[in-house]
Structure 1
Amino acid sequence: MNILRIALFALALAFTGQSIAQPPRRRAEQQAKQQQQQNSPRGSAYRQFPTAQAMPQNVAWRRDLYRKLDLNKEANATLYYPTTPHDGRENLFTYLFKLLLRKQIKAYDYKLDGNENFSAKNEVTARELMDRYHIFYEAKDDKVRVNDADIPSEEVKVYFIKESSYYDQQTASFRSQVTALCPVLVRGDAEFGGDLAQYPMFWVKMDDVAPYLGKLMLMGSSLNNAAMMSADDFFTMGCYEGDIYKAVNLQDRLLANYCPDDSSLVREQKRIEKQLADVQEHVYGRDSAYYAKLRADSIAQAQADSLEALGKSARTSRRGAATSRRSSSLSRRTRQSDAGSAKATKPKKQKSAKVRTKAPRSGGGGNGKFSVRRQRH
């Protein structure tokens, strides 16, 4: 019994000594980890699951589109800033690149045809990407270290996304979902008259990165800096604005392959957008919230048109009254002028001269006639 107690006491001393003799570096790492866990946001800010519902494989209708997100647009700027990590915030590319360095996600090579290929033979490592795009890094054994200043997040100004719009017959709803994402480097000497070139880097599968995007918090508004949203919510809710550069077709052609100029390209993009809207509107319909908003917008537009019409009518009546006053004044002046000219040119009446003739006197006879002239008094 005493031997058992002594053995237990010795074992306890061994564990205590091991904990006391822990290297300072390990203790510092543990303290830093605990501090990070205490400072990390809690609640809905850090979700371990995506908010988007997985797209069923047996959908009744689907249309796949490729869009180009320009981060210079206001709607997409939240994916670009801050270009350098600051105050616990970082942009989308920095976050994805760090996940790739830690091998938490897989990246797939971008082929010349632009189509995504998520097969194992098409995987690409972070070191291959850094060698290809001349990104500075420090390598020691199998570990790779990259400083935040060396990550080219400032040069990633465009994203290519693949968007699938489909009708889910199980829930009788029309949805749009981003299925793939590709960051694009924009490099060149534009300041010295050179052309900017785009270098698509790699594809990532949205289902793989969605759980991590739920942890990346982005600024949701420029007016309210307290409004935050996750990157997963940004793509799930369709807050981005992107131009269509390809619609999946039998010939696998880009829009630029059969649109000779920019105007025809814009018309084709609008035509495809209208096709999606028509399918959602006339075939499957929309939810009641959309129609309520549409009615409210129609009423507001009708009121605005009515006020504008009243304003135009009032301005027209005022102009008509002013024109009639000017016309009447001009006509009065014209009549007065005509009357004056008529008086000036009217000839004076001349009195006609009366000619008096005397009858000749006869020389004899009793039958002589006398003319009597009356004198006027």
Structure 2
Amino acid sequence: MKFLKVIIAVAAIACTASVAQAQVVKKAAVTAAKKAQSQVSTRQQSFYEVPEPSDADLQWMKIVYREIDLTKGKNAALYYPEEPNEDGESLFYIIMRHVANGDISVYEWLDGREMFTDTYKYKISNMLDRFHILYAHAKGSTEKAPKYVIENADIPGSEVLSYYIIEKWEFDTRSNKMRSRVDAICPVLHREDEFGVVQKWPMFWV
């Protein structure tokens, strides 16, 4: 019996030591994970906090106009779903939601000579009227800060089959790297004219 008690005591001590060791290991692992997460966050923050380069920093720059065809399979993610659902919404619905809320400004399409200044800002109601998009004034809307309510059924998402984009390629002397960024994007409606021919109607730049 005495021998059995000794075995139980030794087993209890071993178990306690094992638990303590496991706790130490777990605590060390948690500390290491937090430290790694902190370091990653710091690196990410330092990456995103780099200010935009000035004209003096840009040794070379090229502006490229592109068209994104949403009928191509690789671009389908920008088109679907045709109407918002529990799985999400298309890029055009996202743009229109922010435009209607007054979160972003839109600029006139000027066919290759775009000017993103206050002079060429598009009045939202004029744009909606031009493309026959029904709307109502939202609660809290004012003349200086208009907001609109647009029903999903009245947003012509299925007709936006392409986008024009303005892309800038720049060589930054600070980092000695070439980089590209999208400077503006324009939804393009594909609608039939009175002769049944599908025409492209660029809507606005954002």
1 or 2, which has the higher helix percentage? 1
CA distance in 1, matches of 2:156, 2:187: 11
SS of equivalent to 2:125: helix
Contact 1:156/1:186 (8 A) holds in 2: yes
Deviation at 1:110, TM superposition (A): 0.8
- 1:239 matched residue in structure 2: none
One-letter amino acid of the structure 2 residue matched with residue 120 of structure 1: D
- 1:177 matched residue in structure 2: 181
Q: What percent identity do the matched residue pairs reach?
A: 36
CA distance in 2, matches of 1:150, 1:125: 19
- 1:165 matched residue in structure 2: 169
Residues 140 and 61 of structure 1: CA distance in aligned 2, closer, same or farther (over 3 Å): closer
- 2:16 matched residue in structure 1: none
Whether 2:156 is the aligned partner of 1:134: answer no
Q: How does 1:209-224 map to 2 (within 5 A)?
A: none
Deviation at 1:125, TM superposition (A): 2.6
SS of equivalent to 2:112: coil
Q: How does 1:326-365 map to 2 (within 5 A)?
A: none
- 2:84 matched residue in structure 1: 85
One-letter amino acid of the structure 2 residue matched with residue 107 of structure 1: V
Contact 1:56/1:168 (8 A) holds in 2: no
- 1:106 matched residue in structure 2: 105
Relative contact order (C-alpha < 8 Å, sep 6+): which is higher? Answer: 2
Contact 1:107/1:202 (8 A) holds in 2: yes
Deviation at 1:52, TM superposition (A): 9.9
- 1:319 matched residue in structure 2: none
Deviations 1:62-108 (A, max 9, x none): 11110011011122111111110010511111101110111110001
Contact 1:93/1:183 (8 A) holds in 2: yes
RMSD: 2.6
Residues 167 and 73 of structure 1: CA distance in aligned 2, closer, same or farther (over 3 Å): same
SS of equivalent to 1:85: coil
- 2:30 matched residue in structure 1: none
Contact 2:101/2:148 (8 A) holds in 1: no
CA distance in 2, matches of 1:94, 1:79: 10
Deviation at 1:200, TM superposition (A): 0.5
TM superposition score normalised by structure 1 = 0.38
Give runs of ≥4 in structure 1 deviating > 3 Å. 50-56, 139-143
* Number of corresponding residues: 153
1 or 2, which has the higher strand percentage? 2
Q: How does 1:15-94 map to 2 (within 5 A)?
A: 54-58=52-56, 59-87=58-86, 89-94=88-93
Deviations 1:189-210 (A, max 9, x none): 7xxx832101101011xxxxxx
CA distance in 1, matches of 2:128, 2:156: 10
CA distance in 1, matches of 2:62, 2:152: 39
Contact 2:164/2:186 (8 A) holds in 1: yes
